[in-house]
Amino acid sequence: MQTANSLLVKVQPLGGFNKPLTYLVNKVTAKGIKIGSLVQIPLGNRKVSGIIWSFECEQPSNKHKIREIIKVIQETPAITPDLMTLANWISKYYACSKESCLEAMIPSAIRDGMKPKSQRLICLKKNNRDISNISKQANAQRKIIDFLEIHKDPLPASELIKKTFTSFSTVNNLLKKGILSETHEIVERVAYEDESPDSSMKVPSNIQLTTEQKKAASEIIDDLNLKTFKTRLLSGVTGSGKTEVYFEAMQHALKQGGTVLFLVPEVALAPQTVSRLRERFYSEKVVVWHSHLSAGERVDAWRNLTCGNARIVVGARSAIFAPLPNLRLIIVDEEHETSYKQEDNPRYQARDVAVVRAKANGSVCVLGSATPSLESINNVHKRKYEISKLSKRVDDRELPLVHLIDMRREKDKNRTTTIFSVPLVEALRERFANREQSILFLNRRGFNTTMLCPECGHVENCKDCSIALTYHRTDGYLKCHLCGFRKPSPLSCNQCKSFDLRKRGHGTQRIEDLVSDLLPKSAKIRRVDADVMTKRNLFRETLSDFRKGKIDVLVGTQMIAKGLDFPKVTLVGVIDADLPLRMEDFRASEKAFQMLVQVSGRSGRGNRAGEVFIQTYAPHSPSIQYARKADLDGFLEEELEMRKEFNYPPYRHLIRHLFRSRSQAKVDYYCSEWAKLVNKSQLEEITVKGPAPAPLEKIKGQYRYHLFYFTSSVNSALKALGKIREKFPLDPDVHDILDVDAYSIT
């Protein structure tokens, strides 16, 4: 088959096929292509694009006629070799198609072969004798020549015609006559170009690292010098200056001639980081990489990276796929954030992929957090990761003073429960009077409700799963979303017999209104929540205004709990600390603890000491007690013990198997039939829980049921399940999805 004039290559199609196929390419064309080049190939009766995957092909059995590549779209590799390795790993580990990984890795503009934007620069040809031949009648042409005889620098064609009131056809005519000459220049579209550091957040450039910072930085630098793969957890209390440690390490990686990837948990945090990076590494080009980039911005960012123009990338989850050659250092800031998990296909966890990518490159991965995930802590215990600690805030600033407010005792005149406790209201008023800033944090996740007793704080839990039961309005039952246990919801509290059981929740809007009533009219109160977040720049503007002191009180959800640094904030109020505890999730305590420590950490980061007021119905719950003392080790010890007892993550992996259908009967039937089949097979590798209706039982007309597998080896569990699944035909109306290392169980 391999003829004198052509070669065999393996091509991974981008469109409808999950493994590389063999194609023919003629030897002349083959000279230019490399592994990773983008080509167009015939697939069935379609033409699709594909990636050159390898040059090694065994001679095919001559049954099928091997087809020829149609054309080369782009010789420059569309993907780096380490990303190709990563695509293989992700598709296997997360049970998704290789194609969906490649789609996540190669921006669609690149896949379509989009070229960088260029513009024509026009000038007069030197020593041109023909100029005098332009007749006086050719008025427009004359104007252009006259203009360019004075303005000698080349200028864009569009500008030239604007200034001379002429047209493109006149310019083109002169080009044809050889009187003008043109050159092409690439125009760059830079995301966050305006993100130059604003003065209020300038970091003194003569910053002296603390002893702890120096130690942590030199530990990472030692790792870098070893030039082998290493993962290090940087566990540092809020305000301990982790960013400066990252910067020192980055400096070293750049000095080694390498590139650096800096992941932040939220797109909204990218500008803050970019601005600090552009100030510190002013001679480097910093590229922002995230899903909101326009096609043009992305093509330019992509080109800057692949040709080595830019050596630093900042971005959220998807930036883990930025095509950086010679990657030396990956930093994952706020590594505990669940936003690193992608909840769509491919369902990867960017923090874990970061570790795998570092491994593929023999480079260093740094995971940083004030509240590390139990997964990472467990990896430190298992000696897979090293750890560096920052135990103090910089400049000996104190951690804020935390007050717990027992909301069971806070009643208003009518003896009904209130939203704001008296101490919090007083503190807010005092801060406003002193012109200090406050943040009010509201944990609004609740799409469904658990039963809370406002008298004693009791929450109904499932006895088998130790997670809160969820109240279903439709039938009045309490249900467990892990194992499916259900019982009629009680009329009175199981603990104190009070009849005042409630299912509650209030929005940011409501809080904002209430605060306006509490404070003088001149107080400026702003809200940041998911609604506000949908407008691209509003969130950035709000944060910038807050930083400049134009806002007195910021009211917000999760968004403002993360990594933000506002030195003028001296008060943080947590309206409802218990909501995560009432969530039907075994990670509830971990989430509550992280949330409380992180929001508290927003207070007192400047010269004045900070205070935190946490309103709670469960002041004695361990996660709240540990958070109050910012006692990470205490919390970890207790929580790990619980996880171990139930054999939950991080001791085993959790795989969620979700079934969906428009027909409730069908999804119920197939999910339980499947569960029976799996249980009957008695797989050693997995423990099955469920099936149960998902907490969000119906989304967009689709009914959702799920079951959970707990396993110590994802690969062998997937293999075993795959074998059973082959013999289990699903109704065409029912679809199933596997979510490996699932966080969301909604």
CB of 528 to ligand ADP, least distance (A): 19
Q: What is the DSSP letter of 141?
A: H
Sign of CA dihedral 552, 556, 559, 560: positive
- Per DSSP (E only), the strands in 133-245 are 155-156, 180-186, 230-236
Rounded distance between C-alpha atoms, residue 658 and residue 715, angstroms: 18
Rounded distance between C-alpha atoms, residue 14 and residue 40, angstroms: 10
Q: Which stretch binds ligand ADP (CB under 6 A): 204-212, 404-412, 669-677, 723-731?
A: 204-212
Rounded distance between C-alpha atoms, residue 695 and residue 702, angstroms: 13
Q: Which of 395, 500, 645, 673 binds ligand ADP (CB under 6 A)?
A: 395
Rounded distance between C-alpha atoms, residue 565 and residue 546, angstroms: 11
Contact 693, 479 (CB under 8 A): yes
CB of 696 to ligand ADP, least distance (A): 34
Structure tokens, 574: 């947590």
Is 394 near ligand ADP (CB under 6 A)? yes
Which one of Zn ion, ligand ADP, none interacts with residue 480, CB within 5 to 8 A by kind? Answer: Zn ion
Rounded distance between C-alpha atoms, residue 459 and residue 447, angstroms: 17
* Nearer to Zn ion (CB atom), residue 422 or residue 496: 496
Nearest alpha carbon to residue 312 among 264, 278, 359: 278
- Per DSSP (E only), the strands in 118-191 are 118-124, 155-156, 180-186
Rounded distance between C-alpha atoms, residue 657 and residue 160, angstroms: 62
Which one of ligand ADP, Zn ion, none interacts with residue 455, CB within 5 to 8 A by kind? Answer: Zn ion
Rounded distance between C-alpha atoms, residue 246 and residue 232, angstroms: 12
* Nearer to ligand ADP (CB atom), residue 397 or residue 689: 397
Q: Which of 91, 210, 369, 615 binds ligand ADP (CB under 6 A)?
A: 210
* Nearer to Zn ion (CB atom), residue 193 or residue 464: 464
* Nearer to ligand ADP (CB atom), residue 198 or residue 673: 198
Q: What is the DSSP letter of 579?
A: G
Q: Which stretch binds ligand ADP (CB under 6 A): 55-63, 77-85, 206-214, 633-641?
A: 206-214
* Nearer to Zn ion (CB atom), residue 20 or residue 454: 454
CB of 497 to Zn ion, least distance (A): 7
* Nearer to ligand ADP (CB atom), residue 556 or residue 619: 556
Which one of Zn ion, ligand ADP, none interacts with residue 244, CB within 5 to 8 A by kind? Answer: ligand ADP
Contact 658, 664 (CB under 8 A): no
* Nearer to ligand ADP (CB atom), residue 73 or residue 394: 394
* Nearer to ligand ADP (CB atom), residue 217 or residue 551: 217
Which one of ligand ADP, Zn ion, none interacts with residue 213, CB within 5 to 8 A by kind? Answer: ligand ADP
CB of 649 to Zn ion, least distance (A): 16
Q: Which residues contact 497 (CB under 8 A, 6 or more apart)?
A: none
Q: Which of 36, 50, 77, 241 binds ligand ADP (CB under 6 A)?
A: 241
* Total of residues contacting ligand ADP (CB under 6 A): 18
Sign of CA dihedral 148, 151, 152, 156: negative
Contact 144, 166 (CB under 8 A): yes
Contact 210, 389 (CB under 8 A): no
* Nearer to ligand ADP (CB atom), residue 243 or residue 421: 243
CB of 198 to ligand ADP, least distance (A): 13
Nearest alpha carbon to residue 19 among 46, 51, 44, 42: 51
Structure tokens, 525: 């109160």
Q: What is the DSSP string of 505-570?
A: ---HHHHHHHHHHHS-TT--EEEESHHHHTSTTHHHHHHHHHHTT--SEEEESGGGGSS---TTEE
Amino acid at residue number 144: I
| β-sheet bridge partners, residue 572 | 439, 612
Contact 119, 79 (CB under 8 A): no
Q: Which of 82, 99, 244, 739 binds ligand ADP (CB under 6 A)?
A: 244
Q: Which of 114, 121, 155, 203 binds ligand ADP (CB under 6 A)?
A: 203
Q: Which stretch binds ligand ADP (CB under 6 A): 236-244, 315-323, 354-362, 408-416?
A: 236-244
User: Binding to ligand ADP (CB under 6 A): which residues in 77-136?
Assistant: none
* Nearer to Zn ion (CB atom), residue 94 or residue 708: 708
Site string for ligand ADP, 155-194 (x = CB under 6 A): ----------------------------------------
* Nearer to ligand ADP (CB atom), residue 306 or residue 388: 388
Contact 312, 262 (CB under 8 A): yes
Is 315 near ligand ADP (CB under 6 A)? no
* Nearer to Zn ion (CB atom), residue 73 or residue 456: 456
CB of 490 to Zn ion, least distance (A): 10
* Nearer to Zn ion (CB atom), residue 115 or residue 487: 487
Rounded distance between C-alpha atoms, residue 729 and residue 725, angstroms: 8
Q: Are strands 21-26 and 6-13 parallel, antiparallel or unpaired?
A: antiparallel
Block residue for tokens 């039937």:
669
Q: Which of 138, 140, 209, 533 binds ligand ADP (CB under 6 A)?
A: 209
CB of 344 to Zn ion, least distance (A): 27
User: Binding to ligand ADP (CB under 6 A): which residues in 537-576?
Assistant: 565
Rounded distance between C-alpha atoms, residue 746 and residue 481, angstroms: 8
Block residue for tokens 């409380």:
596
CB of 473 to Zn ion, least distance (A): 20
- Chain residues that interact with Zn ion, rule: CB under 5 A: 453, 455-456, 458, 462, 464-465, 480, 482-483, 485, 493, 495-496, 498
Is 239 near ligand ADP (CB under 6 A)? yes
Contact 567, 393 (CB under 8 A): no
Question: How large is the greatest C-alpha to C-alpha distance in the chain, in angstroms?
Answer: 104
Which one of Zn ion, ligand ADP, none interacts with residue 651, CB within 5 to 8 A by kind? Answer: none
| Range 590-608 burial, b when 16+ CB lie within 10 A, else e | bbbbbbbbbbbbbbbbbee
Contact 284, 254 (CB under 8 A): yes
Which one of Zn ion, ligand ADP, none interacts with residue 602, CB within 5 to 8 A by kind? Answer: none
Is 208 near ligand ADP (CB under 6 A)? yes
- Per DSSP (E only), the strands in 140-213 are 155-156, 180-186
Site string for ligand ADP, 605-624 (x = CB under 6 A): x-------------------
Q: Determine whether 282 is exposed, middle or buried from the number of CB atoms within 10 Å of its CB (0-12, 13-18, 19+).
A: exposed
Which one of Zn ion, ligand ADP, none interacts with residue 121, CB within 5 to 8 A by kind? Answer: none
Is 600 near ligand ADP (CB under 6 A)? no
CB of 661 to Zn ion, least distance (A): 23
| β-sheet bridge partners, residue 306 | none
Which one of Zn ion, ligand ADP, none interacts with residue 14, CB within 5 to 8 A by kind? Answer: none
CB of 463 to Zn ion, least distance (A): 7
User: Binding to ligand ADP (CB under 6 A): which residues in 670-709?
Assistant: none
Q: Which stretch binds ligand ADP (CB under 6 A): 239-247, 509-517, 535-543, 723-731?
A: 239-247
CB of 631 to Zn ion, least distance (A): 28
* Nearer to ligand ADP (CB atom), residue 272 or residue 448: 272
| Range 656-676 burial, b when 16+ CB lie within 10 A, else e | bbbbbbeeeebbbbbbbebbe
Is 243 near ligand ADP (CB under 6 A)? yes
- Per CB under 6 A, residues contacting ligand ADP are 203, 207-210, 213, 236, 238-244, 394-395, 565, 605
